[in-house]
Structure 1
């Protein structure tokens, strides 16, 4: 009895002597100041630990009798481990409770590849604001890196891939494609034609990219007015805000087996006193892609990308000049509906940028920027067996932006001028386009919540240039100048309560029709279609809401995101009809004379007609995620679904990606980690007009990473079991399935 009382007394005394502590902070990347998610935060030699959320924040609560000789650790693959002695912390009691708290503020981790070679000057970076926002960098970026930006993103929730062969794959965000979301590089619009047609390639080479952000909610409107789907911003090496002390070379080499591709990038940082020269050289060569049943003809490509930047640094400012040459030659696969030998496309883009940046003190603003971006884009299309240029497209873009900003406020104005022209078998008229806009973002921090707001308003004009070519389906009198005033706005809320985080936003966006949607009238070689514009289209309006909740405690994180977007006037290019009988080459067409077919076009003498039409639509969906960390193991599960409804015609909306589940199992050591990724994509039987059923599939990937002494090796083995599968958003799924087993190797070194 005495022994039991003694033990009880010791336990009771220990409970009385122990103290509850709560430590909070935010983990940021030293190089770019962006938050780092999934960092393991733990007390050494104890069972107390947690991980950072998507915004890099953590709250760690634990019980110890005292903090002497205990250390806080921050650990994640790709960064140097950080150790903070707890007995050096500033501790205080929280108001009205007995918990001792310590607020560490911003904590910076050093990338093991970059180390201390560069310093961040004259800038802050905008932290992401919504639970649904995504930042992909470091080792996570390497684990998902693929041949283009769409394939790199396809494993993330509610992101599909609209493809026409691997060369022209494009991301689809929550059912939105085309220019219902923005695709930018370093915050600047690409200035190409990738979002006007499925066969136009995105002018980004992934070997020059070091991170990708997906930005949603109020902050997205600082990029443009049509951001209901979000903004995809690809960050590049050579940002002028990073100043190097020493001559530094970054080398990036890689290989993929599914298209026998090789690529290489060499980047030189050359500091000279208060000046810095950035030089980038990129080359990529791919052969035709393969699948479990064979090769997809005419899907080879060649990319050359050269970039030269010069920065002059002053005490509180800098001037940045950049010249870039991007050249891509790629193939579009053949089809009996279009060109039986396929189409070859040559893309040439030259870019000139100027950025003046200054640190200031003006009201609530501390930075001033002027941006000028000139882009000269050309695009030529040939039948694969011919040297005759059948179609030529060109666009010159002149973009100027002026911004005042701080960590919580941004105001700016933007003028965007485009001059478009065409020649050959493509009868869209030449035109000048002018877009003038003013925008702002504001975040106010209250005691228990943050309030966010943004706006973008302006005026867009399209001026067709006479004389016009002979239209086949349009009346010359319909081709007139059009003017579109627009106003987009958003308001959002963020709340943190104990281990819960809530975020929600409302948004209305407006999108003016493109030149092609208004006045196209001619065959499109690459897409096997004859496209006809609709001159009476009005501005498109979408009203959306997103609500999200996240729970984060110790090693467990759970998030649920819902979104609901309604459009009273929504339009996209749609096939005008479909022949229900099989066409046999060399014989008369079974639907001869049909009005939904343009006769006399295409290699076989006919092409389906496509035309935009306005409808009432609804797109909503769900994204659910769980993360659990246990010692050196990490388990992650994501589920996403999106539903699209054509309310006007009482049927499903076209081009909606199917439901998707992803399981990731990760085991990490000091310099090595192993990843097993399981992806289940459900069948798509909710079909829009003229769509066809796509069966479900299950893929298994294995990823290995080695990271030491400024060297990173990433090996991906995708689709290990060579699963035969089809992408619902592929325009050629009737011709060929998606790639089979693929070996991908990426090697990065900093010298």
Structure 2
């Protein structure tokens, strides 16, 4: 077994054994576990809590969500076991679930796709604001059954309540927050209001957020030692490079988000509408677009050194409706969203490339009462997307994508054993502008099957087994990419003949709580047929590396574990310890090599045929490294505090032409004081410290890892008000 997997399996075994010993030795201990999280998971059409689901899911809500909130959705969920984040500067961070990212992980806005183009390129941000979320649900493992082929690696569902579905407890309630940070001069303000009319039928929602930061501080040089050793400049010249030490140039960020929603709520259902906007502007640190005009070299040089900035603007309109108690059916939920998205890349003051995306999505879920003992739901999901990229560096042609899927999910209990089955069928079609693309339109049919069982061995112990067969249709960028991709500094070439990707997965899970101890652990293995990935060919054209989309069989194996232990209760407060670890290994399944002739676009508009060699075995590129973390927490009256550390190990199990990434340790601390008022309101003052050791931390999955480290030591502070 691979070394990280051996360490992970040992870690899981030690956690379980130590927790069992503790529970046995302290069965009469007066400590009691806190009430388990009973928050309903909205990502599934059958109302179920996180603890009762047969599928692995984590929910961030309440104080846990407040402590985790960050500028991107990826960073917000990055401390969940099995979940890390991509990094392309502080404005861009998508979730990486068990080694899967991009078009394999869906980021949802309360059950509907976000409508952005964050899967097209690694420098594109997700258009969802984590600070406005009520709860964030992380579905680990294939979620294709619920959300189609784009969720073959998992899904993150952000619930923000922007279209109200029920009356509020008070006529007017809400929350507000002001915060500042030292590492980047951050200033963030957020407000949210929810209310219900005197009749109890008209419910409204309003929210707004503004965030502004400067360039963030870093522990040392922006350029890593690996990149510096490969560069031609000398050590002295490198050290004298202005702005390359202490502060990361072009890493500033500004975000504005707002929404309004109103619903009519009755005894048996609701109907509501909402409108929202999301606008963010962020720099792309580490590099600038290169100029390609040979006639004016002086202007080229100035243009090539111009900083790259992105302006993203999204407008979204939604209609949601629900009806309960429909005879043989328990409920009906219908959701419709139309999203207009524009992403503009600026090179200095000049417009480089503009990405336009207009999408419409409809989703209907009909939950039925028990039929032959089976409770379940049937669903229909359809979407239409018009995508266009305009500019000299638009490497993906214009396309229209249509998806239609139907699914059924059923659940039944047999004594202590609960089982779940599901089936989904999708039809995907991509129509491409023939004048811009090599290859014609493509259509795919995908089928996903799922079976899961949960054995309640005792009130505090249950085991789960999940088996899935999931399929994913290739995305437009995988099929038709053809040109210079600025974000990765490479020429990217698609493969129009890509086939459907098929994954067969098995997972064993454990959940156990006894008194003050809770343990969760899982082991999983996935076998992919025709896995689609972006390979570095080792060929350079126009002094740029050529990367090509290709397919090969692959295997993913991993483990994750988490333990929560409330180990001390005194007059001075409650003391608890949380520990977690995760590891995943992704490798190509065969031996040997494959040689393919690639038609590569050149700088002058012509094309060249090059022979590229693809390895059919060895590690896959950009696989997340193993981690282990611990957090000590204390609560007493109005106070709570924590001190934690996460050790990310070195990633040296790398693909061909990929460099290793050193390990690092991030130490964080949190302190908060909460006060409830006589009027029923509350307010809270908080102080958070990040990267207290001022570590030079570089994210292995980031194309900028040798040019842009994570932020250095910083402190954020502020106040939250609840009313």
Please give the range of the TM-score, normalised by the shorter of the 2 chains: 0.7 to 0.9
Task: Classify 1:368/1:336 alpha carbon distance in 2 versus 1 (closer, same or farther; 3 Å).
Answer: closer
The residue correspondences of 1:539-550 to structure 2 (distance < 5 A) are 539-550=500-511
CA distance in 1, matches of 2:270, 2:651: 52
Counterpart of 1:603 in structure 2 is none
CA distance in 1, matches of 2:216, 2:671: 24
- Deviation (angstroms), 1:547: 0.5
For the 8 Å contact 1:676–1:701, the answer to whether it is kept is yes
**Partner deviation per Cα, 1:360-392 (whole Å, 9 max, x = no partner):** 3232x2111221110111111121x232x2211
For the 8 Å contact 1:345–1:382, the answer to whether it is kept is yes
- Deviation (angstroms), 1:167: 1.1
**Partner deviation per Cα, 1:155-214 (whole Å, 9 max, x = no partner):** 222222221212112221111011212111211110101122100011122221122111
User: Structure 2 residue aligned with 1:399, among 357, 361, 371?
Assistant: 361
User: Structure 1 residue aligned with 2:566, among 616, 624, 629?
Assistant: 629
SS of residue paired to 1:727: coil
- Deviation (angstroms), 1:357: 1.0
Query: Is 1:342 the counterpart of 2:307 in the alignment?
Result: yes
**Partner deviation per Cα, 1:245-284 (whole Å, 9 max, x = no partner):** 4123421222232222111111222423321221111111
SS of residue paired to 1:202: coil
Counterpart of 1:431 in structure 2 is 399
CA distance in 1, matches of 2:191, 2:480: 43
For the 8 Å contact 1:436–1:460, the answer to whether it is kept is yes
For the 8 Å contact 2:143–2:155, the answer to whether it is kept is no
For the 8 Å contact 1:334–1:342, the answer to whether it is kept is no
Counterpart of 1:687 in structure 2 is 654
Counterpart of 2:249 in structure 1 is 297
Query: Is 1:262 the counterpart of 2:187 in the alignment?
Result: yes
Higher mean Cα deviation, 244-253 or 562-571?
244-253
- Deviation (angstroms), 1:139: 0.9
Counterpart of 1:72 in structure 2 is none
Root mean square deviation of aligned Cα: 2.4
- Deviation (angstroms), 1:239: 4.9
User: Structure 2 residue aligned with 1:282, among 209, 233, 239?
Assistant: 209
SS of residue paired to 2:655: coil
For the 8 Å contact 1:432–1:464, the answer to whether it is kept is yes
For the 8 Å contact 1:335–1:342, the answer to whether it is kept is yes
Counterpart of 2:349 in structure 1 is 386
Counterpart of 2:175 in structure 1 is 250
User: Structure 1 residue aligned with 2:322, among 357, 364, 369?
Assistant: 357
- Deviation (angstroms), 1:679: 1.3
Task: Classify 1:226/1:509 alpha carbon distance in 2 versus 1 (closer, same or farther; 3 Å).
Answer: farther
Task: Classify 1:616/1:341 alpha carbon distance in 2 versus 1 (closer, same or farther; 3 Å).
Answer: same
Q: Segments of 4+ in structure 1 off by > 6 A? A: none
List runs of 5+ in structure 1 lacking aligned partners: 1-45, 58-105, 107-119, 470-475, 578-595, 600-605
SS of residue paired to 1:238: coil
For the 8 Å contact 1:275–1:310, the answer to whether it is kept is yes
Task: Classify 1:157/1:249 alpha carbon distance in 2 versus 1 (closer, same or farther; 3 Å).
Answer: closer
Query: Is 1:667 the counterpart of 2:612 in the alignment?
Result: no
Counterpart of 1:65 in structure 2 is none
Higher mean Cα deviation, 171-180 or 426-435?
426-435
Counterpart of 2:138 in structure 1 is 214
Query: Is 1:375 the counterpart of 2:339 in the alignment?
Result: yes
TM-score, scaled to structure 1: 0.77
For the 8 Å contact 2:38–2:49, the answer to whether it is kept is no
Counterpart of 1:449 in structure 2 is 417
TM-score, scaled to structure 2: 0.80
Counterpart of 2:693 in structure 1 is 721
The residue correspondences of 1:483-502 to structure 2 (distance < 5 A) are 483-498=443-458, 499-502=460-463
Higher mean Cα deviation, 369-378 or 647-656?
647-656
Counterpart of 1:36 in structure 2 is none
Query: Is 1:654 the counterpart of 2:621 in the alignment?
Result: yes
- How many pairs align? 609
**Partner deviation per Cα, 1:107-159 (whole Å, 9 max, x = no partner):** xxxxxxxxxxxxx9xx9843231473211111111222222111122222222
CA distance in 2, matches of 1:667, 1:406: 45
User: Structure 1 residue aligned with 2:275, among 299, 318, 323?
Assistant: 323
Task: Classify 1:510/1:328 alpha carbon distance in 2 versus 1 (closer, same or farther; 3 Å).
Answer: same
For the 8 Å contact 2:163–2:261, the answer to whether it is kept is no
**Partner deviation per Cα, 1:476-496 (whole Å, 9 max, x = no partner):** 6x4211110010111000111
Counterpart of 1:18 in structure 2 is none
Query: Is 1:748 the counterpart of 2:720 in the alignment?
Result: yes
Counterpart of 2:478 in structure 1 is 517
For the 8 Å contact 1:255–1:746, the answer to whether it is kept is yes
Query: Is 1:617 the counterpart of 2:554 in the alignment?
Result: yes
CA distance in 2, matches of 1:219, 1:126: 16
For the 8 Å contact 1:421–1:430, the answer to whether it is kept is yes
CA distance in 1, matches of 2:462, 2:55: 8
Query: Is 1:482 the counterpart of 2:445 in the alignment?
Result: no
CA distance in 1, matches of 2:54, 2:719: 33
User: Structure 2 residue aligned with 1:50, among 17, 23, 32?
Assistant: 32
Counterpart of 1:676 in structure 2 is 643
